[in-house]
Structure 1
């Protein structure tokens, strides 16, 4: 969930003051990176998961306010759409049984929330895009009541000067126009956080970029949108277009998109924050009273609110995070590209693959990103979103091979080594990486299961809408068993 803001209008003076304050924040951050203690004696990881709300028929339930009131815990929070909620799993060490304990906590929280949500006629679903979403759910009235979301939608539409055009060419072709950013709410994700020290940030971010295509391929869970079969991970194309502030003319001029893979490997976290300031105008130019220079001179750690708010309106697939925790400055890589679900076990398996791989890759003598053109990594990311687990991928020293082969032969052993180096128990490593292995052996992830299940239902004579509803109900039932998706039957 983003930072809360109040509804308001902005002037040219607001924007000028905000730009100056972001740059002042940036100068202070540059000095802090060389002078402040960002050390991480006990690295923590965290997970955020966005959920869709459904009713008994499998249709979207636009009742997140009533659902959150029923759940009544701060772990669950609002999201952009009234059919969304989000859970924030408290950060914890990854060593030992940390990942298994996070899975236990998520399962307990999900089960408790589901029981309470059913009391108001809703259910929680971990899925990249809900198959039953229709045009009637993508209206301004479907945006959550939090003023931040309406304000952000208005600012993006104002920056564009026209409605948002969604065009996705997949197995079928989708063309639609929407007059808000509500289509972003269709894209429910898993966000993985990894705390790092300044010297470790750039290699960790570069490693995360290098494996982004692999993550998407094995974790794809979003094949349908508005009744059409599109990409295996349609979220990528949809999110990139749903928050795009550029007109066709600005795209032709090469103006950078706010949902961004990036354009180069980096040498410091500063590179990314500096790009934010240089390339992207403010969407929410709200100036805080904090004077970051005065805070540092007084021996305090500045919050840098303008820098953080600006960063929150630039949706990199791997985002830099600056925060202050217990009075100490703190850096994280936020991996934002994975879809939600299909289950808690699948989610933690995806996390294990990510944490293990970035750890192993950052410790290699010759980094993979020194051998991999950045454009090749970006292209592989989008190709994996289109083809999913059957995609091909280029890897230095290996060449272009099927993703399933690359993962089984080369990357799973690396992830195993990385998790061992982080002190993860062997049994935990085996349990969660085996889930990734079985996906690759069977060719079954969330997207392939949904495609096969829909085809089976549709072949029996059900129309598209009824097939999508039946698919969603079956998905929810399997999700709540907790068994990973590679073991789900097609019925």
Structure 2
């Protein structure tokens, strides 16, 4: 999706050609994966952080192009709506303190963009959904004016043929129809990348799917949208509904959504996921390259697989398999369900937890999966998004041969030892382990995450002023706490 697209209309012949190229890409990818030694390399960690640009009253400011032009930073990219930016952090290679390194890089990125925003009296905010966002802030006028976003918006709308329907119920309820995909741009995320060797990909990806509901419940930070208290992580429902190009008739609904948790556990390797996306989803942007991927593989090179990677970017799985041709080529898991914020400390702690659980559970995953059919894992994901730290999830107990429904806080607390073992197994320094898992442990004991803090603060502020002013004050308090980079369980809830 990062490719530059310079046209907005495509012919049937172009779609047919693109489908031919997709099939060719898949074949070349299979050949590449079967080559001995492909993708082996040093472990690395990376992240993409999406950010809101707001004014002094907490309202979104459409300045992303201006800030990008001013900074001229290749790591800074434009998002769908003009009040959002994304910073792509350079990967951190395996070291004894990878999470400390990633934390410093993320903090420096936020400071850099914030400094560029100051002359415009703008502020930079990492938050899943901006509580002060209103309907007047979104719509086609809000779309960043570059071709690929217009192509995406038009393609999804054309396939649906009618307005997008939003229906989300929590403490309050929201139901509306929307003409375009710009509600998706209300969502900002912290996307964590973890490099995995090909022979371990299936087990690592399955673990990521298993534990994502745990991290999502812990990291929930998007409870308010258009002034309504909805899911603790409203992004999950909003993203899916705001780009759902399926029609409402029963036949169309049998097709899968382009935003999804998954369709089953992986059996062998990453190829299954790429092939599945080719078979299940129509192309949206049939841009073809002239690369001969098979020839590159046979000559010992690294194919770009441009069409396959472009298509993959138009299918939004919450854990996305990544093929990157950089260097000699490698594979990654992009964990996309976590929101931006509340603080750098929280985001990096969640990344450390996910990494530790992947490494700690990877040797045992084949024994665990029979105890949790995939539909229960998917159910866990949506429960975690809706209820956050208050969720109850299904969890397998292999030693007892049972599937239990347990509070997510209890599951997380029981898994911290395993996460610690996993981080030790990949030589993460004791100081990094103690610090970031300590942030997780203390947050669980306090039963506070970003969503809980926002909801608690909003309730207290609403007793002193009207809803609009309460939301403005909420954003201001959130901003200053986030800038201080304290974990959210240490944020004051006093008025």
Bucket of the pairwise TM-score, normalised by the shorter protein: over 0.9
The aligned counterpart of 2:487 is 484
The aligned counterpart of 2:321 is 320
Q: Deviations over 1:393-432 (max 9, x none)?
A: 2211172211111111x21111111111111001110100
Q: Deviations over 1:182-212 (max 9, x none)?
A: 1111110111111112111111111011012
Q: Structure 1 300/237 Cα, relative in aligned 2: closer, same or farther at 3 Å?
A: same
The aligned counterpart of 1:65 is 65
The aligned counterpart of 1:354 is 354
TM value normalised by structure 1: 0.97
> 2:423 matched to 1:402?
no
Shift of 1:104: 1.2
Equivalent runs, 1:30-429 vs 2, <5 Å: 30-35=30-35, 37-249=37-249, 253-267=253-267, 268-326=269-327, 328-364=328-364, 366-397=366-397, 399-408=404-413, 410-429=414-433
The aligned counterpart of 2:463 is 459
TM value normalised by structure 2: 0.96
In 2, distance between residues paired with 1:291 and 1:154? 30
The aligned counterpart of 1:447 is 451
Kept after mapping to 2: 8 A contact 1:220/1:445: yes
Shift of 1:138: 1.2
The aligned counterpart of 1:430 is 434
| SS of residue matched to 1:175 | strand
Q: Structure 1 487/305 Cα, relative in aligned 2: closer, same or farther at 3 Å?
A: same
Shift of 1:263: 1.7
Structure 1 stretches of 4+ with a deviation exceeding 6 A read none
In 1, distance between residues paired with 2:311 and 2:75? 25
Q: Structure 1 218/140 Cα, relative in aligned 2: closer, same or farther at 3 Å?
A: same
Q: Structure 1 223/75 Cα, relative in aligned 2: closer, same or farther at 3 Å?
A: same
In 2, distance between residues paired with 1:282 and 1:352? 35
Q: Structure 1 251/415 Cα, relative in aligned 2: closer, same or farther at 3 Å?
A: farther
In 2, distance between residues paired with 1:273 and 1:138? 33
| SS of residue matched to 1:346 | helix
Kept after mapping to 1: 8 A contact 2:215/2:338: yes
Kept after mapping to 2: 8 A contact 1:138/1:178: no
In 2, distance between residues paired with 1:181 and 1:482? 32
Q: Structure 1 309/87 Cα, relative in aligned 2: closer, same or farther at 3 Å?
A: same
In 1, distance between residues paired with 2:388 and 2:7? 40
Q: Structure 1 250/189 Cα, relative in aligned 2: closer, same or farther at 3 Å?
A: farther
The aligned counterpart of 1:469 is 472
Q: Structure 1 183/36 Cα, relative in aligned 2: closer, same or farther at 3 Å?
A: farther
The aligned counterpart of 1:7 is 7
The aligned counterpart of 2:400 is none
In 2, distance between residues paired with 1:366 and 1:159? 39
Q: Deviations over 1:125-153 (max 9, x none)?
A: 01000001111111101011221111100
| SS of residue matched to 1:248 | coil
**Gap regions ≥5 residues in structure 2:** 398-402
Kept after mapping to 1: 8 A contact 2:203/2:365: no
Kept after mapping to 2: 8 A contact 1:192/1:351: yes
In 2, distance between residues paired with 1:274 and 1:81? 31
Kept after mapping to 2: 8 A contact 1:28/1:293: yes
Shift of 1:365: 6.8
Corresponding residue pairs, total:
488
Q: Deviations over 1:63-110 (max 9, x none)?
A: 111122333322222111101001111111243011101111211221
Q: Structure 1 306/39 Cα, relative in aligned 2: closer, same or farther at 3 Å?
A: closer
CA RMSD of aligned residues (A): 1.4
In 2, distance between residues paired with 1:485 and 1:271? 39
In 1, distance between residues paired with 2:258 and 2:365? 33
**Gap regions ≥5 residues in structure 1:** none
| SS of residue matched to 1:339 | coil
In 2, distance between residues paired with 1:469 and 1:253? 39
